[in-house]
Amino acid sequence: MTQYGKVYLVGSGPGDPELLTIKARRLIDTVDVVVYDQLPGKAILDSIPSGTEKINAGKHSGEHTLKQHEINAVIVEKAKEGKSVVRLKGGDPYMFGRGGEEAQELIEAGVQFEVVPGITSAVAVPAYAGIPVTHRDHASMVTFITGHEDPTKDESALDWKTLANFNGTIVIFMGVKMLGRNVGELMKNGKDPQTPVALIERGTRPDQRVTIGTLENIEAIAKERGVKTPAITIIGDVVKLHEELGEQFLSE
């Protein structure tokens, strides 16, 4: 029987190298191959041992080093060569990270795999900016949505009417490009235009930047400040806590 290697779908956390899990660190340091995205950030990528085979599968908006089917093929191929492989992703591999799709491919190929959860940016990035996603005085619920749906879908799977009436915190992943559409849909469906919004770029890293506004004006403010990916969008009353709890990240 052919002996394949094993693939680890590893979440690297939101970017601060000290937020890597102990297990993630051990695997990165010991496997044969690391197939990585750009989201883990330079500090983590630079820490991959020099003797490890590194394959850049980085994906940016509109620019892919490898397409998803090519990434799937690479991790299967390397495992079938008998190598141990870390598929390194930002945040958590199963939180809008397409880790589930890669796991399905590995099962189909008969390759053993293991998921290594990571700290999701949906919680950690707002926390570093002084914004708890839940707070007894402001929000008892939180929902996570993607700012970029599958472009092949005939229609959006997001229920904007329900989201507009959601009395909690909304966290949008990678939504800078579609910011105007997202805030517009919320207001069109009845969300108060004065609802606070925070955009947090390069969260948990030394150059983290926070931009504050409301549904009504955040698009104009983001354009003026040149907000770029990677960024997380937080919508809801918890954003008001930024000024009190996140003084080191005040946007003024």
Q: Are strands 209-214 and 112-116 parallel, antiparallel or unpaired?
A: unpaired
Where does the chain hold its CATH 3.30.950.10 domain(s)? 121-249
Catalytic residue among 78, 92, 95, 174: 174
* 252 band by pLDDT with thresholds 50, 70 and 90: very low
What pLDDT shows up at residue 2? 63
pLDDT tens sequence across 214-241: 999 999 999 999 999 889 999 999 999 9
Q: Point out which residues pair with 87 in neighbouring strands.
A: 9, 35
Q: Could you tell me where the DSSP H helices lie in the chain? A: 22-30, 42-46, 68-80, 99-109, 121-128, 160-164, 179-188, 218-225, 242-245
For Cα atoms 209, 211, 215, give the angle at the middle one, nearest 5 degrees: 150
Residue 198's DSSP bridge partners are 212, 234
Q: Quote the CA–CA distance of 119 and 126 in Å, as a whole number.
A: 12
Q: Is 37 annotated in the active site?
A: yes
Q: For 121-249, which CATH class? A: alpha beta
Q: Are 90 and 58 in contact (CB under 8 A)?
A: no
- Cα-Cα-Cα-Cα torsion 136, 93, 155, 201, nearest 10 degrees, comes to 60
CA distances to 92, 99, 211 from 96, in Å: 8, 8, 23
Q: What are the structure tokens assigned to 169, written together?
A: 């915190």
| Cα separation, 125 vs 92, whole angstroms | 13
Q: Tell me: the pLDDT tens digits for 58-83? A: 755 555 578 889 999 999 999 999 99
Confidence of residue 136 (pLDDT cuts 50, 70, 90): very high
Secondary structure (DSSP) of 19-32: GS-HHHHHHHHH-S
- Gyration radius (Cα) of the chain, Å: 19
Which residue spans of the chain are classified as CATH 3.40.1010.10?
Answer: 6-116
Q: Which two tokens stand for residue 85?
A: 């492989």
One CATH from 3.40.50.1370, 3.40.1010.10, 2.60.40.1510, 3.30.70.20 for 6-116: 3.40.1010.10
Per-residue pLDDT, averaged over 21-50, amounts to: 96
* pLDDT beyond 80 at 125: yes
Q: Which two tokens stand for residue 186?
A: 């919320």
Q: Do the Cβ atoms of 219 and 180 come closer than 8 Å?
A: yes
CB atoms < 10 A from the CB of 87, how many? 31
Of 37, 89, 92, 95, the active-site residue reads: 37
pLDDT exceeds 70 at position 247? no
Residue 59 annotated among the catalytic residues of the structure: yes
Q: Tell me which of 59, 83, 161, 177 is the catalytic residue.
A: 59
Give me the amino acid identity at 122: A
Q: How far is CA 199 from the centre of its chain?
A: 13
Confidence of residue 190 (pLDDT cuts 50, 70, 90): very high
